[in-house]
Structure 1
């Protein structure tokens, strides 16, 4: 009996250790968002959040966790393109991130080209950035002001069907940030497919 209890305890410690290696969420509203550096799946260029924030004319940054195979994420492809084209000239920079371990770099690149994304699609190979931002679904979006402070997190809008949308949460957040105003609804519940993180190996 005692031997069985020791075995259970050892397994629990092993399981806890695997998750202890994951970075703790640090993307808190009203605080500076964690920096990251990831590679663009299409061009191979390295992008860092701090670099984008320092770029001339940047007034806000949208970080979007997306997927290639998720029907919910794909239902937002046209809307993401439209938002990027609408707000890009206003100084808003868009960065898409794919953190799914099940979607390799080549597939992410092909998907980005197919849909004509006008923004970088970065590959988060070990889901470390998704962990730091506590991203759970695709799509899951975050709005940072020009100082890198997190002002909004959650969904793009309230319905995957573009004809049934009632609240334009991301657009409303961007309008508030660009106007120097607080975001009225800064935290909404993202919905979509879960991010497929790689299982830690021992």
Structure 2
């Protein structure tokens, strides 16, 4: 398994706009469509990455929990589907349905959105406040496939709790680690 870290976009960065195909609803969705009243989580994931497979249950649980707290969620796959056909929109839709994703699963065909977010790996997490400013980026928690640490979403949950309650997040923001985004050549 490749172990690529997040690039750690600077805090305060305004959320890059996007308009992408949602493989679940077969419609085009933009940032404002998924924006939550309190904040928004953008996740870069894919179907086949073992790091994403490892965290799928937790990101679903977090989305289900925090959607009720007025946080919006979207997942984006930016992988090159020519060389990685398992990440095609059709397979994204089937994967999302099988996993029970409670958020849009967007296809970034041109990879321009991944570049705008400076995304590097899957999974990669970004939390924006109500003003669309970046307040958290990095890992879900310390758990990785086969490292024995519990999967609990502690880093992302803390960032969301701080955002909702208006507390400053004083925890160190650690880069996510995962498979590199499969860039087109």
TM-score calculated relative to the size of structure 2: 0.86
Query: Deviations along 1:117-163, whole A, 9 cap, x unmatched?
Result: 11100001121111111111110000001110000000111112596
What is the rounded CA distance, in whole Å, between the counterparts of 1:32 and 1:147 in structure 2?
8
Higher strand share: 2
| Counterpart for residue 98 of structure 2 | 114
Of 3, 7, 11 in structure 2, the residue corresponding to residue 29 of structure 1 is 11
Give the length in aligned residue pairs: 172
| Counterpart for residue 164 of structure 2 | 178
More RCO (CA 8 Å, sep 6+): 2
**Alignment pair present for 1:105 and 2:89:** yes
Give the ranges of 4+ consecutive aligned residues of structure 1 lying more than 3 Å apart after TM superposition.
none
TM-superposed CA distance for 1:51, in Å, is 3.3
What is the rounded CA distance, in whole Å, between the counterparts of 2:71 and 2:20 in structure 1?
19
**Alignment pair present for 1:126 and 2:83:** no
| Counterpart for residue 175 of structure 2 | 189
**Alignment pair present for 1:38 and 2:20:** yes
What is the rounded CA distance, in whole Å, between the counterparts of 2:173 and 2:118 in structure 1?
13
Query: Deviations along 1:86-113, whole A, 9 cap, x unmatched?
Result: 1110001110001111221111111111
**Alignment pair present for 1:91 and 2:58:** no
Query: Deviations along 1:156-191, whole A, 9 cap, x unmatched?
Result: 111125962387110000000111122223632110
What SS is found at the alignment partner of 2:68? Answer: helix
What SS is found at the alignment partner of 2:73? Answer: strand
Higher helix share: 1
Q: In terms of Rg, which structure is larger?
A: 1
Superposed, 1:60-79 pairs within 5 Å as 60-79=39-58
What is the rounded CA distance, in whole Å, between the counterparts of 1:167 and 1:104 in structure 2?
27
What is the rounded CA distance, in whole Å, between the counterparts of 2:60 and 2:148 in structure 1?
17
CA distance change for structure 1 residues 154 and 175 in 2, over 3 Å: closer, same or farther?
same
What is the rounded CA distance, in whole Å, between the counterparts of 1:67 and 1:180 in structure 2?
32
What is the rounded CA distance, in whole Å, between the counterparts of 2:39 and 2:144 in structure 1?
24
Q: Tell whether the 8 Å contact from 2:121 to 2:178 is kept in structure 1 after alignment.
A: yes
Query: Could you list the runs of 5+ residues in structure 1 that have no partner in the other structure?
Result: 1-24
- For the aligned residue pairs, the C-alpha RMSD in angstroms reads 2.1
